Amino acid sequence: MSWKYPCDTPFNNAIKSDKMTPYSLYVIDDEQSIRDGITISIGDDYSIDSFQDAESAIAALQIRAEKCCSPDLVLMDIGLPGMSGIEALEKVKQIDPAIPVIMITAYEDIDSVISSMKLGAFDYVTKPLRMDILETAIKKAIETIRLRKEVRLLQKKYIKENMPCLIGESDTVQDMMDFIKMVAKSPDTPILILGGTGTGKELIAKAIHFRSPNFNAPLVEVNSASISPELIESEIFGYEPGAFSGAHPSGKKGLIEEARGGTLFLDEIGDLSLDAQAKILRFLENGEFYRVGGTKKIHLKTRVISATNKDIVKMSETGQFRKDLFFRLGVIKIEVPPLNERGEDILLLARYFLDQFAKKFAKKMVSISRGAEEALLNHDWTGNVRELKNAIERGVLIGKKSSLRAEDLGIGPSPAKQALREKNDDANAPDAYPPMPPDGMDLTAALMDMERHYIEQAWKSANGNSNQAARLLNLNHHTFRYRRKKRR
């Protein structure tokens, strides 16, 4: 089986190499002389398609956009017959907001120019056309396109190389990735990531940052648990000279200032003191703060992403965490599922890590044995993806065969899964099932009764804990809950 990167999706526009394919332009103008003049002047440098009306151009654009190959740039007359240039601009932006559009207009039609710029036009040129001015506008647009593509390529490369926790085929991971791509579009909406240790919360924060409009700005990470309570405020907000004993004579810029225009990632947010929480809340509400010992109010914009493995809802109810800050941090919440609820992703991740560590240690280990696969699937991954990664690293490092073996991993099945396997082995022994009646039986009903029996047994064995009961049956908790509800 091969793995895939759910975050490795096609761009809105096909990424084209400048050396292989010229940038493509749509020229939309009802005057034949304008279309011909532009084609003659710059046709050697660009791939040009010309249209005499907006309707035919929009139809062609829709077809190309569906194939992920939208034109790079649109040159369009405002005063078109039928659908006007303003109306067509709206249509273009609906189909592909990333396409720069340069409007061509009569000199005196300033109101239409203003309207088009408000709708997202990149630039405008006036008639009668001067080719030097038009070429300058085109080059500016092409440079913007080139930089945008470079950013997308960097984003794609970074995410592909650094997001292993997000590899998976399970619906849970796919849904989470779709949600991440959606919320990343905002440059400043606070996001709270909830999940156990080792689930990859910090990598999700990076995935959001590197998909956001803030991609080129800094991503600054703060582990609240690793900084003493006495220093956390000065680390985050900075301090003025002489603010406290031992302070640097020239003061210090805080991490929140380092993240200006980018992303501040507050990991282990549940470990912040109440005083620090109050200052974070004020910053989130007003975009302002004071350095420790300072009287000058500092204003800046940055997105705050926070994460915790603690029950922050309970903490907010007991007063350990400010409830108003909890609501402000959690405008968007992302819950990262534990690996035990992503059973179908375990081998996919294992193969990814096997490939990575085989390269790192220069080992010719190319596969996972059947026994190792069973060990991986039967282990209780309380340490989540981090624990799986460590197990594969150990196995590749000490393994001596071309295939990763169970004994290389240093893990075993969880007691609960082992007990279930032994019970199933006993059930599969000869004569474990009642004989089939001579006149036949309703197999569907029998299977439903058996499923109901084991679901309730697992529920009782797990003392009503649906997550644990699901593990006993090797199901994810969503499937377990659905089946239990259906069979009751």
Query: The domain that contains 394 carries what CATH number?
Result: 1.10.8.60
CB neighbours (10 Å) of residue 464? 9
Instruction: Please give the Cα distance from 303 to 246 (Å, whole number).
Output: 31
- What is the phi-psi region of residue 380: left when phi exceeds 0, alpha when psi lies from -120 to 50, beta otherwise? beta
- How many residues are there in the chain? 488
Residue 416 binned pLDDT confidence (cut-offs 50, 70, 90): low
On whether both 261 and 377 belong to a single domain, the answer is: no
| 105 found inside a domain | yes
Tokens representing residue 5 in the block = 């990167």
On whether both 272 and 359 belong to a single domain, the answer is: no
pLDDT attached to residue 4: 34
On whether both 202 and 308 belong to a single domain, the answer is: yes
On whether both 352 and 378 belong to a single domain, the answer is: yes
Residue 433 binned pLDDT confidence (cut-offs 50, 70, 90): low
- Per mean pLDDT, which of 92-96, 164-168, 325-329 is the most reliable? 325-329
Position 6 pLDDT exceeds 50: no
| 395 found inside a domain | yes
On whether both 142 and 262 belong to a single domain, the answer is: no
pLDDT tens digits, one per residue of 219-251 = 999 998 888 878 888 899 999 998 888 888 888
Backbone angles phi, psi at 257, to 5 degrees: -75, -35
On whether both 43 and 139 belong to a single domain, the answer is: yes
Encoded amino acid at 415, one letter: P
C-alpha distances in Å from residue 359, one per residue of 204, 346, 362, 392: 25, 20, 5, 13
Residue 53 binned pLDDT confidence (cut-offs 50, 70, 90): very high
On whether both 324 and 191 belong to a single domain, the answer is: yes
Q: What is the domain extent for residue 467?
A: 415-487
Q: Return the half-sphere exposure (C-beta side, CA atoms, 13 A cut-off) of residue 138.
A: 25
On whether both 71 and 102 belong to a single domain, the answer is: yes
What would the mean pLDDT of 348-367 be, rounded to a whole number?
Answer: 90
What would the mean pLDDT of 11-18 be, rounded to a whole number?
Answer: 34
pLDDT attached to residue 66: 76
What would the mean pLDDT of 85-97 be, rounded to a whole number?
Answer: 91
Ranges 22-26, 97-101, 138-142, 484-488: which has the least confidence: 484-488
Where among 337, 359, 384 does a domain terminate? 337
- Per mean pLDDT, which of 135-149, 424-438, 451-465 is the most reliable? 135-149
Cα of 364 vs its chain's centroid, Å: 32
C-alpha distances in Å from residue 144, one per residue of 9, 138, 140, 259, 441: 22, 10, 6, 24, 71
The CATH number of the domain where 463 resides is what? Answer: 1.10.10
Position 13 pLDDT exceeds 50: no
289-303 exposure pattern, b = at least 16 Cβ within 10 A, e = fewer: bbbbebeeebeeebb
On whether both 244 and 323 belong to a single domain, the answer is: yes
Residue 32 binned pLDDT confidence (cut-offs 50, 70, 90): very high
Tokens representing residue 296 in the block = 């000058």
CB neighbours (10 Å) of residue 229? 12
pLDDT tens digits, one per residue of 173-182 = 888 888 988 9
pLDDT attached to residue 200: 86
Of the chain, the percentage scoring pLDDT greater than 70 comes to 86
| 17 found inside a domain | no
Instruction: Please give the Cα distance from 196 to 245 (Å, whole number).
Output: 38
On whether both 127 and 246 belong to a single domain, the answer is: no
| 3 found inside a domain | no
Instruction: Count the helix, strand and coil residues of the chain and give each as a percent rounded to the nearest 5.
Output: 50, 15, 35
**466 compared with 54, residue with greater pLDDT:** 54
| 51 found inside a domain | yes
Q: What is the total count of domains within the chain?
A: 4
